[in-house]
């Protein structure tokens, strides 16, 4: 095992105490006195006990957020909000290695990959700091009789409930917090119960940065209790959710109580299309990591790999070979390329799909079953898996697995593959690999998804919007479009006569 001493040391945050919730600038226990356990998915080791917040704790957090929004926070100027976000960015950068270790311990992300994402994570926070100074409305020339000044103003929407997933805790946390601060909102954040540690540590950094009490609140707990109350709370103005479309549907129904504003980044079953004229030396690792990155626990993973028939056998074999050579193991090992699945529940889900695929007649070229030998037996490990002989109607080709599982499907024509790529209830991501720029442009325009990568995959820029079509959700994260999700538009009509 190749490690770096600063990654191998147990973070001071894991001091054996029950991790408390952040409400109104103070660290508090759950009102009901309950807590839950969180485990290392690579070893099964107990990491910490965490306060189990429920509806009563959410009520207290929302009340604190409302007081802050109606009180001192409303008087903060854009440059003051910007300075706070920049302080938070500096602290995240200063403690970045520790935060990455927490992500690895709590959900398994390989530290060698997360360390490389420093600029993406810290850069996103700094991007939203800049956006705090870039919020503006517009004046509108009036057509009314008489003398009127007319304008459209932008105002913060108010109290935001943010519910984040477990597959990238650090990035999801800092992104949700920084955009809310940039827009002038206050926030109640509900981390995923599978990986709550990094969000709680970021809460400590928020206080250190000087963010006022009540502006950022973090309530750890379960979706069925804390998440449900936050979604239905009548004093929450907006829900920003990232997660499965099943949970998204529940949130949409719950939000009707006060017709909340919603932004929903939901699941996907993204097509990744490889044409025969692609640069295969780049397309093979690109297509493989479109799914195997983060053990396939990425909402936009390119799990439906459509390959032009002329190169199908060669390409599938090469992707399978790439996957079979990947280093699977404990994420703290710097040589690990793919870590464990986040939980035993997720392990069961993925291994069930492996069985379903083979029962339906698909052939596992590589992988196909859980890893259990030696140290693997203590963790939630599934190897990179490539299925061939897959048809569009198989469950492994239609349902989101959220694991390192590729369904390789042949195609013959452009029109055919576009139609098949779009034959899904999802529309989050997609990829096109070809040397023909004209073909790439035409195919990308015809794929019905929020993002299409050409000769690349899962490349993110904080200034570029990201979100879904169809059951992959609505609203956008990234860019000015993201900030606008946290703002209201107010018309001003002023009689100057």
Q: Which residues are catalytic?
A: 265
Q: In 3D, which of 484, 486, 487, 467 has the Cα closest to residue 475?
A: 467
DSSP alpha helices (H): ranges in 226-279?
228-232, 245-254
> What gap in Å lies between CA 50 and CA 169, rounded to an integer?
15
- Number of Cβ within 10 Å of residue 143's Cβ equals 7
> What gap in Å lies between CA 128 and CA 258, rounded to an integer?
28
Q: In 3D, which of 445, 150, 388, 406 has the Cα closest to residue 290?
A: 406
CA atoms within 13 A on the CB side of 305: 31
Strand 21-23 versus strand 26-28 pairing type:
antiparallel
The answer to whether 361 touches 396, Cβ cutoff 8 Å, is no
3-state DSSP call for residue 491? strand
Q: In 3D, which of 458, 116, 48 has the Cα closest to residue 288?
A: 458
> What gap in Å lies between CA 401 and CA 392, rounded to an integer?
15
Count of helix runs (H) and strand runs (E) in the chain? 17, 20
The answer to whether 201 touches 249, Cβ cutoff 8 Å, is no
Strand 453-454 versus strand 304-308 pairing type:
unpaired
Structure tokens at 86: 């920049």
3-state DSSP call for residue 304? strand
Q: What angle do CA 280, 286, 289 make, to 5 degrees?
A: 140
> What gap in Å lies between CA 304 and CA 430, rounded to an integer?
9
Max distance between CA atoms of the chain, in angstroms, equals: 83
φ, ψ for residue 305, nearest 5 deg: -95, 100
The answer to whether 440 touches 418, Cβ cutoff 8 Å, is no
Structure tokens at 486: 């946290």
- Number of Cβ within 10 Å of residue 368's Cβ equals 19
The answer to whether 129 touches 135, Cβ cutoff 8 Å, is no
- Number of Cβ within 10 Å of residue 90's Cβ equals 15
> What gap in Å lies between CA 345 and CA 251, rounded to an integer?
22
């Amino acid at each position: 095992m190749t490690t770096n001493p600063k990654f191998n040391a147990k973070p001071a945050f894991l001091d054996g105490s029950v991790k408390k919730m952040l409400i109104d600038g103070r660290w508090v226990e759950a009102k009901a006195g309950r807590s839950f356990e969180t485990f290392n998915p690579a070893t099964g080791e107990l990491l910490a006990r965490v306060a189990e917040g429920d509806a009563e704790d959410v009520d207290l957090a929302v009340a604190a957020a409302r007081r802050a929004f109606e009180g001192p926070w409303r008087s903060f100027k854009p440059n003051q909000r910007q300075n706070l976000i920049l302080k938070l960015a500096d602290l995240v950068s200063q403690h970045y290695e520790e935060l990455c270790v927490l992500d690895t311990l709590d959900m398994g992300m390989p530290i060698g990959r997360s360390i490389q994402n420093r600029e993406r994570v810290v850069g996103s926070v700094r991007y939203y700091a800049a956006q705090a100074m870039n919020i503006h409305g517009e004046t509108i020339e009036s057509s009314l009789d008489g003398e009127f000044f007319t304008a459209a103003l932008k105002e913060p929407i108010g109290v935001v409930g943010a519910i984040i997933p477990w597959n990238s805790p650090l990035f999801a946390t800092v992104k949700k917090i920084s955009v809310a601060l940039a827009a002038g909102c206050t926030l109640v954040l509900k981390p995923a119960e599978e990986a709550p540690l990094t969000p709680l540590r970021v809460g400590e950094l928020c206080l250190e940065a000087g963010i006022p009490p009540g502006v950022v609140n973090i309530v750890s707990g379960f979706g069925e209790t804390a998440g449900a109350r936050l979604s239905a709370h009548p004093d929450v103005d907006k829900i920003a959710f990232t997660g499965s479309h099943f949970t998204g549907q529940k949130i949409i129904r719950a939000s009707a109580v006060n017709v909340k504003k919603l932004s929903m980044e939901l699941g996907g079953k993204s097509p990744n299309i490889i044409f025969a004229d692609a640069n295969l030396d780049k397309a093979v690792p690109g297509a493989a990591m479109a799914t195997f990155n983060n053990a396939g626990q990425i909402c936009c993973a390119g799990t439906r790999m459509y390959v032009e028939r002329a190169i199908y056998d060669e390409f599938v074999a090469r992707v399978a070979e790439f996957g079979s050579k990947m280093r699977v193991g404990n994420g703290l090992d710097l040589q690990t390329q793919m870590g464990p699945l986040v939980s035993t529940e997720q392990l069961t889900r993925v291994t069930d799909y492996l069985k379903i695929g083979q029962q339906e007649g698909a052939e596992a070229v590589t992988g196909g079953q859980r890893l259990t030998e030696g140290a693997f037996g203590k963790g939630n490990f599934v190897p990179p898996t490539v299925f061939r002989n897959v048809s569009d109607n198989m469950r492994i080709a239609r349902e989101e697995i959220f694991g390192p599982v590729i369904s390789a499907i042949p195609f013959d024509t452009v029109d055919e593959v576009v139609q098949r790529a779009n034959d899904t209830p999802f529309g989050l991501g997609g990829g096109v690999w070809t040397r023909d720029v004209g073909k790439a442009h035409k195919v990308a325009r015809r794929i019905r998804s929020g993002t299409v990568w050409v000769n690349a995959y899962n490349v993110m820029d904080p200034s570029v919007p990201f979100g879904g079509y169809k059951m992959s959700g609505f609203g956008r994260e990234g860019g000015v479009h993201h900030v606008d999700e946290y703002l209201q538009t107010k018309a001003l009509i002023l009689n100057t006569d």
